[in-house]
Chains A and B, each alone.
Chain A
Amino acid sequence: MILPKKYRSLTVAIALLIISFSILSYSAVRLSETGLLRKMVLEIAAPVEDALNRSLKGLSDTWNRYLFLVGKEEESRRLRRENDVLNDLLNSYREGYLEGVRLRKLLDIKDGLERRTVVARVIDNDRTSLFKTILINKGTTDGLQVGLPVLSHQGVVGRIIETSWHASRVLLLIDENSNIDALIQRSRAQGILQGAGSAGCNLKYISRAENVQTGDVVLSSGLAGVFPKGLLLGLVTGTSGAEGGLFQKIDVASTVDFGKLEEVLVPLPDAGPKP
Chain B
Amino acid sequence: MIRYLLFPLLLLLLVIVQITVLDLFTLGWVGIEISLAAVIYSGFHLDAFRGCTIALLLGFFLDCLTSAIFGLYTFLYILIFYLSTFVAGKIYAEKSSLIALFTGFCTLLEGMIIVLLYFILLGTDILYAVPKIFIPKAILLGLLSPFLFHMFHRFEASLHATQTRPAQRI
Question: What is the CA–CA distance of A48 and B60 in the complex, to the nearest angstrom?
Answer: 17
Residues on A with C-beta less than 8 A from B121 are 24-25, 28-29
Task: Please measure, in the bound complex, the distance between the C-alpha atom of A16 and the C-alpha atom of B75, giving whole angstroms.
Answer: 8
* A3 on the B face (CB < 8 A): no
Which residues of A are found within 8 Å of B12, using beta-carbon distances?
Answer: 41, 44-45
Kindly state the separation between the CA atoms of A17 and B69 in the bound complex, as whole angstroms.
16
| Bound CA span A25–B122, Å | 10
Chain B interface bracket (under 10, 10 to 19, 20 to 34, 35 or more): 20 to 34
Contact with A along B39-81 (1 / 0, CB 8 A): 0000000001000100010011101110001111011001100
Q: Are B60 and A49 in contact (CB under 8 A)?
A: no
Interface residue A224 (Cβ < 8 Å from any Cβ of B): no
Q: Are B9 and A9 within 8 A (Cβ)?
A: no
Docked complex: A28-61 residues within 8 A CB-CB of B? 28-29, 32, 37-38, 41-42, 44-45, 48-49, 52-53, 56, 60
B74 to A, closest residue via Cβ: A20
A23 pairs with B71, CB closer than 8 A? yes
Verify A38–B64 contact, CB threshold 8 A: yes
- Chain A residues within 8 Å of B, Cβ to Cβ: 9, 12-13, 16-17, 20-21, 23-29, 32, 37-38, 41-42, 44-45, 48-49, 52-53, 56, 60
Q: What are 15 inter-chain pairs, A to B, with CB distance below 8 A?
A: A13-B78, A16-B56, A17-B79, A17-B82, A21-B71, A23-B71, A23-B74, A24-B71, A26-B71, A38-B63, A42-B64, A44-B12, A45-B12, A45-B16, A49-B20
